[in-house]
Chain A
């Protein structure tokens, strides 16, 4: 198991899912443990190393639609802000 990643100093160069531009591809690095409903997000397949494709946001700007593991999922930007990704 990894070290607790709360130490902000040694964060890997990564962004969060909500900051991506629509249409971009990324790979999940980790999901913050404080995220409510964390286990369900992980169980839906948002685990480390999973490729995600940010398709679009809803007409009102939130939530966002992503594709992963061959299916499509909608999550809110505030939740996506806890999903750390690196560019694919």
Chain B
């Protein structure tokens, strides 16, 4: 590529290889097969796109670095993911070297659309190998692809492979070891006016030897076609050129309004020439190609059976999250309780012991305890995604989602948010349109996450003096989940008509053939997610646990019992200061302390309340989780100064409604900050959700009072 200086020799001896390809082309499977567990996941600077880098050994024994670029349909990006793919190939991403080589994964059973991206990559002049993946599928479809002919047409090596069965991997490694030539001068034909426009732009560039080379032409075409390409010009040091691109676009739009169509059509024409020369298709191709998928789809997207399967899968997912996960969660709780007791018995009483047991161990425990749910959630999502079902779920749900202004792909993030909004919000990255994505992020925290469950359980236990039937309890729970979901949809609808107004781009959802999911892909995906969750949520929750511990521990007093100590601590004072605001919704200062505790993670509400109400008060049992039942009894016994009951059924419901609607989770806010790159949106989420929660609770409580409850 042109720079003002002569090309520099590579800084590192390690070969840097970029792995690029369409979504669903088997790129991740190939990446996992080549690198195994030698992978690192980080973020590209300034954007929320995952950077996956692995190392592998070439056939000649030298180590190489493999960058798994986000799946892209084109180098004309429609999403932050696709923009990163383009920018890495152009060497414009700080901290990521420009790849020495590219492996372009092409799905042999979907040759034309995959070659669209491949030809764009080849034009950029990076030494490239085509990994012709899923060659078995193409053959099963009755396609015969002449590998040698394809290779000579494209001017680069073509390695047929089948990543799921590890076929073709040695050949790929050998090809990567070999010296690779820069692809020959590949030039896709362009409409004459576009060609002229690019030629004119060439003369505006800083002088260089390769001004008239194919890569420069390809780069100028990319920049000309993309209204948002100003950053590329800056990155390449072509300052002052952006107005020229704008002028050129305006001129083209006037002289040849469908120049974009002509340009894209010309590339497909070229691809058509290539494929018709190298591929022999069986006459009855349509009979074989999607046969199995059609048979599966006959059930899975059937107007009746399809919904039944969908509901069944969702029920299975929730049951697993809430019942199967309970066992490892109990185990984790037990381990952390034991750890707390161990520290309590091994250390003399004092600030440090209290910090360790009530701050650190409790804080770490309250993060780790969610891991089983997160792992189960991502096992499901991974299996559904890798098999191709998730695309069908989005297909079936799009009508509903679109009705409230969301996107079919909003479905997965919202679903994940029932477990935890942190992975849910991270999962919005698959939504290309920034407005659709933001709307999903803004409402995802309304979905009742599992951290709210202990609070609901406590309030339901407080409601009934006699143990209620499972049906009653389940019914109340369902009501709370439904409330959160309905409010989420209502706000999405509102946001898309106010803040985030604007015509959303077309839904372009590929429905890939069903495949047997790869355990390796699913397993590694689960690990990735779990790591990201611990890192993101963990650091925030731990830090906040320590702050909250300090608020409840200081200033110290001569108080004999913990509840007296907490009452006069900073936390107690904050609770009392909040009481004037809490009284209108039926709550006292003790709940205020609980709400303060809930800022770390909502379920901390229960243990904080237990401390304030002196349940299991002795210091020795600090780290133990109190029984919901005994806390509920203590709550029922609480009275206002005038002797009236604090936790009337109305108050219990008000607390639940407040917890459904309010934004209490600092980890979620930190995640929103990360994903939107500004403090404006997390602040907005906090204010609008908490404000709405307060107003709704107020209306509910005062309404209930007026009705005599």
Binding site for B on A (CB under 8 A): 1-2, 4-5, 30-31, 33, 35-45, 47-50, 56, 58-63, 65, 67, 69-76, 79
Q: Is B5 an interface residue (CB 8 A)?
A: no
Is the CB–CB distance between A58 and B110 below 8 Å?
A: no
393-440 of chain B: CB within 8 A of chain A: 394-396, 398-400, 402, 408
- For this complex, 28 residue pairs linking A to B, each with C-beta atoms less than 8 Å apart, are A1-B257, A33-B257, A33-B258, A35-B506, A36-B504, A37-B506, A39-B225, A40-B74, A42-B265, A44-B508, A47-B264, A47-B268, A49-B265, A59-B303, A63-B398, A63-B509, A69-B113, A70-B289, A71-B110, A71-B113, A72-B290, A72-B511, A73-B510, A74-B391, A74-B507, A74-B508, A76-B398, A79-B506
Is the CB–CB distance between B74 and A75 below 8 Å?
A: no
Cα of A61 to Cα of B109 in the assembled complex, Å:
29
Is the CB–CB distance between B511 and A75 below 8 Å?
A: no
**Which residues of B lie under 8 Å from residue A4 when comparing CB positions?**
257-258
Q: How far is the CB of A50 from chain B (nearest CB, A)?
A: 8
110-151 of chain B: CB within 8 A of chain A: 110-113, 116, 141
Query: What string of 1s and 0s marks CB contacts (under 8 Å) between B253-274 and chain A?
Result: 0011111111011001000000
**Which residues of B lie under 8 Å from residue A30 when comparing CB positions?**
258, 261
CB-nearest residue of chain B relative to A65? B511
Cα of A15 to Cα of B259 in the assembled complex, Å:
23
**Which residues of A lie under 8 Å from residue B261 when comparing CB positions?**
30-31, 33, 38, 42, 47-48
Query: What string of 1s and 0s marks CB contacts (under 8 Å) between B168-208 and chain A?
Result: 00000000000000000000000101000000000000000
Cα of A83 to Cα of B394 in the assembled complex, Å:
22
**Which residues of A lie under 8 Å from residue B193 when comparing CB positions?**
1
Cα of A31 to Cα of B76 in the assembled complex, Å:
18
**Which residues of B lie under 8 Å from residue A75 when comparing CB positions?**
506-509
Q: How far is the CB of B303 from chain A (nearest CB, A)?
A: 4
Q: A36-B504, A40-B505, A69-B110 known; A1 and B256 CB under 8 Å?
A: yes
Q: Which of B116, B141, B513 contacts A45 (CB 8 A)?
A: B116
Q: Is B302 an interface residue (CB 8 A)?
A: yes
Q: Is B78 an interface residue (CB 8 A)?
A: yes
Q: How far is the CB of B531 from chain A (nearest CB, A)?
A: 32
Cα of A30 to Cα of B260 in the assembled complex, Å:
12
**Which residues of B lie under 8 Å from residue A44 when comparing CB positions?**
73, 113, 508
Cα of A62 to Cα of B395 in the assembled complex, Å:
8
Q: Is B306 an interface residue (CB 8 A)?
A: yes
CB-nearest residue of chain A relative to B114? A71
Q: Is B209 an interface residue (CB 8 A)?
A: no
Q: A58-B395, A72-B511 known; A2 and B258 CB under 8 Å?
A: yes
Q: Which of A1, A45, A59, A65 contacts B262 (CB 8 A)?
A: A1
CB-nearest residue of chain A relative to B256? A1
Q: A62-B399, A67-B290 known; A40 and B509 CB under 8 Å?
A: no
Q: How far is the CB of A25 from chain B (nearest CB, A)?
A: 10
Is the CB–CB distance between B260 and A79 below 8 Å?
A: no
**Which residues of B lie under 8 Å from residue A45 when comparing CB positions?**
112-113, 116, 268
Is the CB–CB distance between A61 and B73 below 8 Å?
A: no
Q: 6 more A-B contacts (CB under 8 A) besides A39-B260, A48-B261, A58-B301?
A: A4-B257, A42-B261, A49-B265, A73-B511, A74-B394, A74-B511
Q: Which of B141, B191, B396, B508 contacts A37 (CB 8 A)?
A: B508
Is the CB–CB distance between B506 and A58 below 8 Å?
A: no
Is the CB–CB distance between B78 and A65 below 8 Å?
A: no
Query: What string of 1s and 0s marks CB contacts (under 8 Å) between B298-329 and chain A?
Result: 00011100110000000000000000000000
Q: How far is the CB of A64 from chain B (nearest CB, A)?
A: 9
Q: Which of B111, B257, B503 contacts A70 (CB 8 A)?
A: B111
Cα of A44 to Cα of B22 in the assembled complex, Å:
11
CB-nearest residue of chain B relative to A38? B260
